[in-house]
Structure 1
């Protein structure tokens, strides 16, 4: 997984929503663009991507709650973790804020891609019970 994350730029595409229909997963931006993940299959892992415009203003209420420092990087990571855990963002905030839970099995990378902050994250699929 580390090699795949190290090469994340090669597996991300930015386009309109219609142009990324074949992406494994995607994130929709407020300006109509999408970021899609086109990496190789990762058996045993789920993948999530989230992106935001790096220059977008941080909403005042969120800045008061979480601070402005490195906001979009922390936001996109939290959004990825929510997607991987299938948890609503408000529930995540109550429990973890925009931080990374110490017990998370997920691996991730947050990077700049043109004018965007993008996080790609992977989490292992749960193992079915043996019996």
Structure 2
């Protein structure tokens, strides 16, 4: 898994939802774009991604609750892990905030692609 995460940039594409219709998994952005994962199948592992615009304004209520430091990296990581755990984000917030639980089996990488912050996460 580390090699796949290390090469994540090669497996992510940005485009319209129609252009990325065949992605393994996708994240939709508020500006109409989509980020898709096109990595190889990894037996025994599930993949999830989340993306946000790096320059997007942080909603004031979320900034008050979670702070502004490295917000979009923490946000996309939590969203990706929520997707893998099939847990609603509001339930995650109550339990963990935007932190990663110490016992999580998931692995992840957060990176910048142009004007986006993207987290790719895998869980067995």
Q: TM-score range by the shorter chain?
A: over 0.9
**Could you state the TM-score of these two structures normalised by the residue count of structure 2?**
0.99
| Count of residues paired in the alignment | 124
The runs of 4+ residues in structure 1 deviating greater than 4 Å are none
Say if 2:85 is the partner of 1:95: no
Tell me what 2:77 maps to: 77
Tell me what 2:64 maps to: 64
Kindly state the Cα deviation for residue 77 of structure 1 after the two structures are TM-superposed.
0.3
Q: Deviations over 1:11-55 (max 9, x none)?
A: 000000111110000000000000000000011000000000000
**Could you state the TM-score of these two structures normalised by the residue count of structure 1?**
0.94
Kindly state the Cα deviation for residue 87 of structure 1 after the two structures are TM-superposed.
0.5
2:19 aligns to what SS in structure 1? helix
Distance (whole Å) between structure 1 residues aligned to residue 114 and residue 101 of structure 2: 29
- Structure 2 unaligned residues grouped into runs of 5+: none
1:103 aligns to what SS in structure 2? coil
Distance (whole Å) between structure 2 residues aligned to residue 86 and residue 100 of structure 1: 15
Tell me what 1:128 maps to: none
Task: Answer with 1 or 2: which has the greater Rg.
Answer: 1
- Structure 1 unaligned residues grouped into runs of 5+: 125-131
CA-atom RMSD, angstroms?
0.3
Distance (whole Å) between structure 1 residues aligned to residue 58 and residue 70 of structure 2: 10
Tell me what 1:116 maps to: 116
